[in-house]
Amino acid sequence: MRFKNQEDFNTQLAEALAGDRLAQARLKEAITSDQLAPMFVKAANVRFQEYFDSYNTLWGNIATKELLTDFRPASLLSLKPDSTTVPIDNGGYKHPAGTLPHVPELTPYPTMSYQAEGAFITTSKHGARIQFSFESFINDEWNVIARFPKDAATLAARTEDLLVLLQIFDPVTKSLRADVFNDANKTKADFTTVPDEFTGGTGAGGVGGVKNAALSFDAIVAARYQALATIRDGHSTYVPEGFVLVTNPALAEVAKNYTLINEIRTQVGKRTEIKANPLKGLEVLSSDLISVVGGEKAWVLLPKGGRANGKTVLAKTGMMGREAPELRIHNKTGQMLGGGDVNPYEGSFDNDDIEIRIRQIAGAGLVRYDGVIGSTGLNS
């Protein structure tokens, strides 16, 4: 049997995977056709891309998308003035970062240039292959063949989420990355300096004066305050578009309940003080991967969309022209004795196996530290 075109093959394949025995018989009849291999791979890639795009990834809410041209490290550029040429106004006022400097009368315009900032970001190759037998294909084991594009797409999407979370947590020690959180010039998971008025008022720092506080209403508020109070560039206070809290599914349900509180009431003597809920509108996301890399009680507060003050904080990287994962079949079947290529689904020359491979190019990088507050949740 020969198919009219790719659309005809796709229709037959979809019906076969849905359990239509007649469609399965047609494909089985076409097993010797030189059409089957290229058409199956094209159809599988279409289905794979659909599954990949439909997966609800985490990284899109907490990281920007940066496409690189190759595997070499790259650094993002930021427009900054040359400090040696920027004048101070007559009153001694120096312009804040992120604004244009004042130009006094009859003075030259100061020079601005693009400068590399933050850490280098890279991308890398990931993948796997699956092997199945000629017999399994002939025996109509459609579930295996049908599931592979969807399973591969899920693995690819989860890999991108994992790469982003690895910028914050160390999976070996199940703790916050030391190079991010132990440097005095960077963000720290330390809630000991938060005034009571920025928490529920339940103790020093609102969380008992501990580091790596367990997830609680006060701990989240304290983390949010610390992120907002962080001074950047020596001039301006960090102002985010919003925050996203990421934790495991169980703790996420607890955190979501905190965001539903309308107001906070505290009794001060005979007076009742009413405050707005500072966590109202906080976006809460869950991922089982955070328990894998950070432990069962880990949680992290990040700037929404991976940007702060118009600059990239956390990035998920890929490669231009190779953004989507690729499915490929290994054709090592040899040739027919009478001439002509052999369909890959006829099995390999050596042992009649059939191999399909997935390749994905992805990476991640923490470029800046604005508003990234993490905790292992261990109160230590």
Separation of alpha carbons 265 and 243, rounded Å: 24
Residue of 3, 77, 71 whose CA lies nearest to 38: 3
Which of 154 and 134 is assigned the larger pLDDT?
154
The predicted pLDDT at position 17 comes to 62
Helix (H, G, I), strand (E, B) or coil at 355: strand
Structure tokens at 232: 């950047």
Percentage of the chain modeled with pLDDT above 90: 26
Reported confidence tier of residue 146, pLDDT bands at 50, 70, 90: low
- How does pLDDT run across 12-68, given as a tens digit for each residue? 777 776 667 777 777 666 655 555 556 666 666 666 777 788 888 999 999 999 999
- How does pLDDT run across 200-244, given as a tens digit for each residue? 333 333 344 567 888 999 889 888 887 776 545 444 455 567 899
The answer to whether residue 294 scores a pLDDT higher than 90 is yes
The predicted pLDDT at position 326 comes to 86
Averaged pLDDT, 175-203:
53
Amino acid at residue number 198: F
* Burial per residue of 237-257, b for 16 or more beta-carbon CB atoms within 10 angstroms, e otherwise: ebebeebbbbbbeebbeebbe
The predicted pLDDT at position 203 comes to 32
- How does pLDDT run across 317-331, given as a tens digit for each residue? 999 989 888 888 777
Domain range annotation of the chain: 58-73+125-380, 77-116
Angstrom CA distances, 168 to 84, 165, 179, 208, stand at 35, 6, 9, 24
**Element of type H or E holding 300:** strand 299-303
- How does pLDDT run across 332-371, given as a tens digit for each residue? 777 777 777 776 667 777 877 778 888 999 999 998 877 8
CB atoms within 10 A of CB 281: 9
Angle between helices 217-229 and 249-259 (to 10 degrees): 80
Sheet containing strand 243-247, strands side by side: 283-286, 243-247, 299-303, 373-375
Identify any residues that bridge with 276 across adjacent strands, giving them in sequence order: 263
The predicted pLDDT at position 235 comes to 44
The predicted pLDDT at position 56 comes to 87
- For the chain, give the mean pLDDT: 77
Separation of alpha carbons 2 and 44, rounded Å: 18
- How does pLDDT run across 244-271, given as a tens digit for each residue? 999 999 999 999 999 999 888 878 888 8
* Residue whose tokens read 């291999």: 37
Largest CA distance in the chain: 99
Separation of alpha carbons 222 and 199, rounded Å: 6
CB atoms within 10 A of CB 112: 14
